[in-house]
């Protein structure tokens, strides 16, 4: 039997699925509460910082997780990351200021970055290429139950009690399964791995890039000289140091792995901006109930899982770069919905379908890009390749969100600002469509 649940793969498949389930449940339940939490802590202007801190820390977490996975296998970063997730939920839950909430999100991003890279590296290390897309589809499927329960329940709890109860409740619910998972992973022993000189990550560079990304998110939250200085400083540091964490030629879209890494950043940046600003638009400008916003997150997670299953089972004969193009076209429809949702004459919920549509596009193209990156990766460097994908994914999220934030604050009104922010997303989508052929496997 040659499958992901064959005896040779069963134990690791179950462990990877458990990690994905736990991190997915925490992530999906937290996201709908962030607009409410930032408003309660009188920090709506700093919402880009709160949202971006998670992504900025993921840069550093991804570098650490990738090097750790290449050196010793994925077991340790997976175990440490799941335990750290519980601690970060407690930090966020007890926030007395917007800065503490941002710190909690930063720590959570550190854990999430390490876990995400470790899982992708482990898939590349443990499964043959023809099974990798199926494993990635299963990982997306592990988000289904969290997506059904997490966002609407979090919205309801936030409405009836407090957003803090959501964070505390998630910490309690995640603590025991995380400890059990650590015990299970400790039994999955493997041969020691020689890290070698190439596997040692440029930690100082990763720290600088991560901090610069956080400073940049702070910079776009205001329009005075101090914020402008933060944007300039962050941009200069990212331009100088970020390329050292990526394959040579990434930002020039050189064929093969560099182009694949670039497209991960463009697609994730588009999706992350929609995921951050569509709920904020619905709650703060269109005055939609938080429970409805939570249901939009649920629909998005289901759409991502369903589309991922389709690409792994029904579109496995389609060249991966064409699957990327199909996903891009679906995301273009999502952006159109978001723009229409800013028009006062249309119903308040017009923008809500943007989230599940964007998730459908990502469910198609994200696993395809992951498989393409592993196919382009030299043997033994899966961790470094996964780290590069994660790094540029986060850089793309930070960059696109920052540009959208600038467009939002420059708008003549709140709704016109949102319209400008969403319209700006047409640029990365056009680049995705044009550059997809450069990712094909020879």
CA 49 to CA 298: how far, in whole Å? 24
Query: For 343-349, what is the mean pLDDT?
Result: 87
Query: Torsion-angle region of residue 270: left (phi > 0), alpha (psi -120 to 50) or beta?
Result: alpha
pLDDT at 106 (0 to 100): 87
Count of CB atoms situated within 10 Å of the CB of 341:
25
Q: Is the pLDDT of residue 178 over 70?
A: no
What is the structure's pLDDT at 267? 96
Q: Provide the pLDDT confidence category of residue 10 given band limits of 50, 70 and 90.
A: low
Helix boundaries (H) for 249-347: 257-280, 290-313, 320-340
Q: What is the mean pLDDT of residues 435-439?
A: 94
- pLDDT computed for residue 191 by the predictor: 45
CA neighbours closer than 13 Å in the CB half-sphere of residue 1? 8
Look at 304 and 19; give whichever has higher pLDDT.
Answer: 304
Cα distances (angstroms) measured from residue 153 to each of 43, 92, 162, 305: 24, 18, 12, 20
Tokens of 407: 């467009």
The model's pTM is 0.71
DSSP state of 315: S
The 3-state DSSP class for residue 440 equals: coil
Give the integer Cα–Cα distance in Å for 82 and 135: 20
- Answer whether 304's CB lies under 8 Å from 360's CB: yes
**Per-residue pLDDT averaged across 336-364, rounded?**
92
In what helix (H) or strand (E) does residue 77 lie, and over which residues does it extend? helix 75-93
Structural contact between residues 221 and 398, judged by C-beta atoms closer than 8 angstroms: no
d(CA 50, CA 87) in angstroms, rounded, equals: 17
pLDDT range class, residue 201, cuts 50, 70, 90: low
Residue (of 347, 336, 393) closest to 369 by Cα position: 393
How far is residue 324's CA from residue 370's CA, in Å, rounded to a whole number? 11
Instruction: Give the mean model confidence (pLDDT) for residues 103-130.
Output: 79
Round the average pLDDT of the chain to a whole number and report it. Answer: 81
Candidates 363, 378, 386, 311; CA nearest to 120 is 386
pLDDT of amino acid 412: 57
Q: Find out whether 92 and 104 touch, Cβ atoms under 8 Å.
A: yes
Of residues 43 and 325, which shows the higher confidence score? 325
How does residue 424 score in pLDDT terms, banded at 50, 70 and 90? very high
Q: Half-sphere exposure of 235 toward its Cβ, with a 13 Å CA cutoff?
A: 12
> What is the C-alpha separation between 230 and 232, in angstroms, rounded?
6
Task: Please give the average per-residue pLDDT across 415-420, as a whole number.
Answer: 88
Q: Are 293 and 305 in contact (CB under 8 A)?
A: no
Q: Which domains does the chain have, with CATH numbers?
A: 10-188+199-439 (1.20.1250.20)
Instruction: Tell me which residue of 317, 312, 297, 313 sits closest to 144, measured CA to CA.
Output: 297
- State the average pLDDT over residues 172-192: 62
């Amino acid at each position: 039997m040659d499958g992901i649940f064959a005896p040779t793969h069963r134990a690791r498949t179950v462990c990877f699925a458990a990690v994905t389930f736990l991190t997915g449940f925490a992530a999906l339940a937290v996201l709908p509460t962030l607009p409410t939490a930032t408003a309660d802590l009188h920090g709506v202007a700093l919402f880009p910082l709160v949202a971006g801190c998670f992504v900025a820390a993921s840069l550093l977490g991804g570098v650490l997780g990738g090097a750790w996975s290449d050196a010793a296998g994925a077991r340790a970063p997976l175990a440490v990351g799941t335990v750290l997730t519980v601690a970060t939920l407690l930090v966020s839950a007890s926030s007395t200021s917007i800065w503490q909430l941002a710190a909690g999100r930063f720590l959570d991003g550190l854990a999430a970055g390490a876990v995400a890279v470790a899982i992708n590296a482990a898939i590349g290390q443990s499964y043959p290429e023809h099974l990798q897309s199926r494993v990635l589809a299963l990982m997306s499927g592990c988000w289904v139950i969290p997506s059904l329960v997490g966002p609407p329940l979090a919205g309801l709890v936030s409405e009836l009690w407090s957003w803090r109860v959501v964070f505390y409740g998630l910490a309690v619910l995640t603590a025991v399964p995380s400890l059990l998972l650590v015990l299970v992973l400790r039994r999955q022993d493997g041969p020691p791995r020689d890290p070698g000189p190439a596997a040692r990550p440029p930690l100082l560079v990763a720290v600088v890039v991560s901090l610069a990304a956080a400073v940049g998110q702070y910079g776009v939250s205001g329009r005075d000289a101090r914020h402008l200085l933060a944007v300039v400083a962050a941009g200069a540091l990212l331009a100088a140091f970020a390329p050292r964490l990526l394959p040579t030629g990434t930002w020039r879209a050189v064929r093969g792995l560099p182009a694949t890494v670039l497209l991960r950043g463009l697609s994730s940046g588009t999706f992350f901006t929609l995921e951050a600003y569509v709920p904020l638009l619905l709650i703060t400008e269109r005055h939609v109930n938080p429970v409805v916003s939570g249901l939009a997150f649920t629909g998005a997670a289901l759409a991502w899982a369903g589309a991922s299953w389709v690409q792994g089972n029904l579109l496995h004969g389609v060249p991966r770069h064409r699957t990327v193009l199909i996903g891009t076209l679906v995301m273009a429809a999502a952006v159109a919905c978001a723009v229409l949702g800013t028009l006062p004459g249309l119903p308040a919920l017009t923008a809500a379908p943007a989230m599940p549509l964007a998730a459908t596009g990502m469910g198609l193209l994200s696993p395809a890009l992951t498989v393409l990156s592993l196919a382009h990766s030299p043997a033994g460097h899966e961790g470094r390749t996964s780290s590069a994908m994660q790094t540029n994914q986060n850089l793309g999220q930070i960059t696109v969100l920052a540009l959208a934030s600038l467009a939002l604050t420059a708008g003549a009104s709140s709704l016109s600002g949102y319209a400008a922010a969403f319209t700006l997303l047409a640029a990365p989508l056009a680049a995705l469509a044009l550059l997809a052929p450069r990712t094909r496997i020879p």
